[in-house]
Amino acid sequence: MRFLCFALLLTSLCYGQTNVYEISFDNAHHHEAQIAITFPELKKKTVVVRMSRSSPGRYAIHEFAKNVFNFKATNSKGEALEATRPDAYSWKIKDHDGEVNVSYTLFANRADGTYSQVDESHAHLNMPATFMFMEGEDHRPIEINFKLRKDLNWKVASQLKKIDDARYSAPNLQYFLDSPTEVSDYKLREFKVDGQNIRFALHSDDTSEDFDTYWDKVKAIVLAQKEVFGTLPTYDFGEYTFLACYAPHVSGDGMEHRNSTILTDRESLAAGGMDGNIGTVSHEFFHSWNVERIRPADLEPFDFTAANMSGSLWFAEGFTSYYTNLILARAGVITSEDYVKSLNGTFNYVWNSPARDYFNPIEMSYQAPFVDAATSVDPVNRNNTFISYYSYGSVLGLALDLSLRQQGLNLDDYFKVVWNQFGKKEISYSIQDLENVLAEYAGDAFAKTFFSQYIYDSQMPDYQNLLTNAGLTITQDETKPYLGIRVNATETGLRIARATSKGTPAYTAGLNEGDLITALDGTELRTSEAYEAYLNSLSVGQTVVANYERFGRKLTTKLTVRADPTYAIAMDPKPSKKPSKLRKYWLQEK
């Protein structure tokens, strides 16, 4: 998000129209925080305070108000004010004397990129999930006082402007709600890059030695990503902070913010997080350029009261996902072989999905309010109708990068142009802007072809050509049998574990999630191993009779075995000179 007028912050705080927040944690053992807010010098006789319904970096509705109780409102003299409820998210207050003080208790027990958690180990605070705000007062500066638990050695880590150890400020509501905060006895590492401070606050039980090893990887990622854009963003207050919480009682996640990111995982560094968590570091830090400053116009300004929809997430999230592991390889965190191997899962997920028949990457991006940590109780058909914009954009980023490299260009330099025209100036972009920049960089015909075929349509690029010319191989085993079902073995048969995909033998035969296969060609199969052995004994084109049960009825159908559609991407062990050179520069192999 874009937040202007930081130079006015200290001046603004000198005046009385600063909203003052306070949060305390006396009942942390029961996941409770006590919050008090003062709204001074109010002009309107009737005001509304409310909780958010969405959170930066997330696009779905989240009902944060459900965790609020014990709400009270008073005037400047401490006299009670009546509060009515115009809806489930708001409190309407009238007949005040120019000042409204509200207090409430928050229950918080989920630590991730959206929600908050309070316990004796930490206070993990996502601001929209924690703090109310007053409608119509978005422009006011905010000061917050954290009542720190000295008995727990708590201290504050945040992108908020520090006043002292317990008091922090924000220039306006947008910045405040975009400023997650970790309050705990964390460990800290930091280093300077071009005069700016990069910090990593780690809340975990890991040793300092393990943290140092991890920190070396983080620093390598920061420097490798800087090379893509040519410069770091100008961080507000000269600082960027990683807020990491690796503990068994948190939920795995990562969430970008303007000058910080949240990183959560159940695995400590010693328990697998040293390698397992580092990809999220790479992804989220790339967002400090792409999403936070190279910003989709349809996400500006972010609406904290409703779902936020964008058609650009294939670029904002997907191209970021393309760079996630590529940067790890360039930084020496993983090998080139590991990087190429990592392409396979995403590649097969996208290009073997029937969902491309229904939506292009822009339309997949529109689905974010329904899939991005969204909740629903009714079944959905995502297996056939949705491809993650993270994944879709990632494989399109690969295609664009390799296509450009065949012309002596590259995606890094395209991003530099986008950065200089939009991100550096904090001008939000449209999809047409992205096409225009590509035309400027690579030519009108190139840009028109890429966008018309792969962004506005759902065609598949010629990866055989692209990967071969980059020193890789891509193959399919045309003799490997495939039925298109995933099963869980039971004592009575094989239960189909997920919805079958359109076009697979199982889908064509009418089989679906929940069906119990009791026999295939008369053979009763009761273990996953037995099923795999049976599957491998089949031949492409063979017909199989399946006996199955659905809703208590015994049924029969026929499946025609087809070749496994899975692609296998690997390093070419003996590439010719030109592909070898392209691969070396692409992966920055030493």
Instruction: Note the pLDDT tens digit of each residue in 454-499.
Output: 999 999 999 999 999 999 999 999 999 999 999 999 999 999 999 9
H runs (alpha helix) in 171-307 = 173-177, 208-229, 274-276, 278-286
pLDDT reading at 3 higher than 50: no
Q: How far is CA 47 from CA 40, 43, 129, 278, in A?
A: 12, 9, 21, 45
pLDDT surpassing 50 at residue 2: no
CATH assignment of 309-466+572-587, given 3.50.50.60, 3.60.20.10, 3.30.565.10, 1.10.390.10? 1.10.390.10
Average pLDDT score, the chain: 97
Instruction: Indicate if the alpha-carbon torsion angle 22, 23, 26, 30 is positive or negative.
Output: positive
Q: Residues 298, 309: contact at Cβ < 8 Å?
A: yes
Pair 157, 261: CB distance under 8 Å: no
Cβ contacts of 549 within 8 Å, gap of 6 or more: 493, 515, 516, 518, 555
CA distance 260 to 562: 49
pLDDT of residue 7: 39
d(CA 477, CA 205): 46
Instruction: HSE, CB side, 13 Å, CA atoms: give it for residue 37.
Output: 21
- DSSP string of 306-331, one letter each residue: S----S-HIIIIIIHHHHHHHHHHHT
Q: Could you tell me which residues are beta bridge partners of residue 189?
A: 200
pLDDT of residue 16: 61
Give Cα separations from 338 to 181, 286, 580 (angstroms).
34, 20, 17
Q: Looking at domain 6-286, which CATH architecture does it have?
A: Sandwich (2.60)
In the chain, what is the straight-line distance between the N-terminal and C-terminal CA atoms, in Å? 37
Look up residue 266 and give its DSSP letter: S
Cβ partners under 8 Å of residue 466, min gap 6: 398, 399, 402, 403, 406
Q: What is the mean pLDDT of residues 108-121?
A: 99
What are the pLDDT digits (tens) for 243-291? 999 999 999 999 999 999 999 999 999 999 999 999 999 999 999 999 9
φ, ψ dihedrals at 546, nearest 5°: -110, 125
421, 429, 437, 588 from 432: Cα distances, Å: 14, 8, 9, 31
pLDDT at residue 114, rounded to an integer: 98
Number of C-beta neighbours around residue 145 at 10 A = 16
**CATH of 481-563 among 1.10.3720.10, 2.30.42.10, 1.10.260.40, 3.40.50.300:** 2.30.42.10
Segment 540-544 shows an average pLDDT of 98
Are residues 528 and 487 in contact, defined by beta-carbon separation less than 8 angstroms? yes
Structural domain boundaries in the chain: 6-286, 309-466+572-587, 481-563
Question: Alpha-carbon distance 108 to 468, whole Å?
Answer: 51
Report the pLDDT value the prediction gives residue 10, as an integer from 0 to 100: 42
pLDDT single digits (tens) 347-401? 999 999 999 999 999 999 999 999 988 778 899 999 999 999 999 999 999 999 9
Strand order in the sheet with 90-94: 83-84, 90-94, 46-50, 133-134
**Matching fold, domains 6-286 and 309-466+572-587:** no
